Structures are given as C-alpha cells and as structure tokens.
Amino acid sequence: MKEIIYTPQSSLRHPKKLLREMWQDLLASRELAWRLMVRDINSQYRQSLLGITWAFLPPIVMATGFTLANQANVIQVGKTDIPYPAYVTFSTALWQTFVEALNAPLQAVTQARPILAKVNFPREALIIAKLGETLFNFAIKIILIIALFIWFQIPVTWTIILAPVAIIHLILLGTLIGVLLAPLGLLYQDISRGLSLITGFWLFLTPVIYPVPKTGIFAALVNFNPVTPLLVTARELATTGNLSQSTAFWIVSIITFIGLILTWIAFRLAMPFVVERVG
C-alpha cells in the first residue's frame, strides 16, 4: 500500500513533487476512467428508445431550422464554401462537441459528489472519463458527417486527415474551461445554470450558422472568440483545405495547452477544500 502523508504546507512550494504526483495520478486513473466512461456511455443510451440516434438529432434539427430560415430569407447568411445544409450541420456537430467538453467536468464532479468525500481516488479519472465520452459521442456524429459529404458530393482534400487534430484542440479548449469551473460548480448551482445561458449566447458569436464576417464590430467579436479559429480550422481542413485562421488557431491552441496544465494544478489544489466544504 502506498503511504500518503497530508500536511498543511502548500504543494506549490515543491513544484517538482507536485508535477510528479500529478503524472502518477494521471497514470493511475486510467483503469478507473475507462470503467467510468463505459458505465456513463451505457447509462446514456440504456433507457432510450432512439439510442445513439440522439447524437444525430440535435445537429439535424438545428440545421433544418436554419436552412429553412435561410431559404425563406428570414436570415441572410451569405455564401458558404459548401452547401449550406451540410455547412450548418457539420458546424453544429463541432459546436455541440465543444459544449459537451465544456459541461463534462462539471457534470463529472457533480455526479461523483456523494463519493468524493468518502473515497480517496485520483480525481483526474472523472475528467478523463467524461473526455472519453465526448470523443465517443463525436465519433458517432462522424457517421452523419460522412453521409452529408456523400449526399452533397462535397470534394475533400488530403487535409481532411488533419481535421481530427483541430477537433481535439477544440475539445481541449472546452475541457480547459470546464475544469476551471468545476470546483465552483460543485459549490454553487448558479454555475451550471449560467452555463446554459452563456453557451446559448456564445453560439451566436461563433460562425456556426454563418461564415466569418469581414468587417464591423460584430466581426471583431466573432474573431475575438477563441472558439472561432478552432472550429473554422477544423471545418476548413475537412472541406476546402484553405486555412483562413491558421495563425489564430495556433495562438489559441498554445494558450489552451498551457492553460490546461495551470488549470489542472488549480483543480488539484482546490478540490480538497471544495470536498471538505460540500461534505
């Protein structure tokens, strides 16, 4: 049995030891994370008549609504690189994957709340399990995306093999924000309720149903949105191969990777105090 000694001294005073413990806990959490992921995926579709069809329905319904609105000139979308129904369906699938990654850490710690104060286990397992569930759900959506490409005869280039890289970066950005909010969400229900409002507004600042605008204040807001370069790059890699925001993509990606490490440290330091308070 591994002996663990708890002291009031901050772990930040020994950064090398802290990083070593983080890495060890990450490796130790693999089996538990796998079991939690399988459990959550099974429970997600067990008591559902439509099963995995729910992974397809939201982007299809949303795309149908915006396509009809665009055809009726209720909204003026502008020219898109691929047929608009495929454009909005693909973009919606990417956006929903980001939102799932954003909500996943908060859902993980909330569901595990009864055992957090009773069982000592690597908290990283909760996050990894939900991250795997998000990847699984997107893998199902790939079937819909392939069907769209075939139906609308969308040509693809060799860059499509790089699209998963951009999609993973998009998921990691959502995970970063989710892990940052998870300890607060365990203390205050306002966080989970507020996320629904924020993501609803955030959607309209992201080029999901429209191309990236070129000028104006709204264009500045859309381009300042960190999701924009990741989502746009993933879409362009999978379709035209002409990257319009490659510089912004790498800037956001680097910030995401650095932010993930810092947020991971903050998560580890905050969780004992949060668990003590909710317990």
The whole-model pTM stands at 0.87
* CA pair distance 52, 74, nearest whole angstrom: 32
Measured from the Cβ of residue 175, the count of other Cβ atoms closer than 10 Å reads: 25
Cα separation, 34 vs 221, in Å, equals: 39
CB 148 within 8 A of CB 233: no
pLDDT of residue 151: 87
Q: What is the mean pLDDT of each run of 10 residues along the chain (279 residues)?
A: 54 69 79 84 68 72 80 73 86 92 89 76 85 88 85 85 92 93 83 86 89 87 93 91 89 95 88 75
Distance (Å) of CA 149 to CA 39, 142, 143, 196: 32, 10, 10, 31
Report how far apart, in Å, the C-alpha atoms of 215 and of each of 96, 128, 129, 218 are.
27, 40, 41, 8
Take residue 190 and report the two structure tokens written for it.
């306002």
**C-beta separation of 118 from 47 below 8 A:** no
The pLDDT of residue 47: 63
Residue type, 90: F
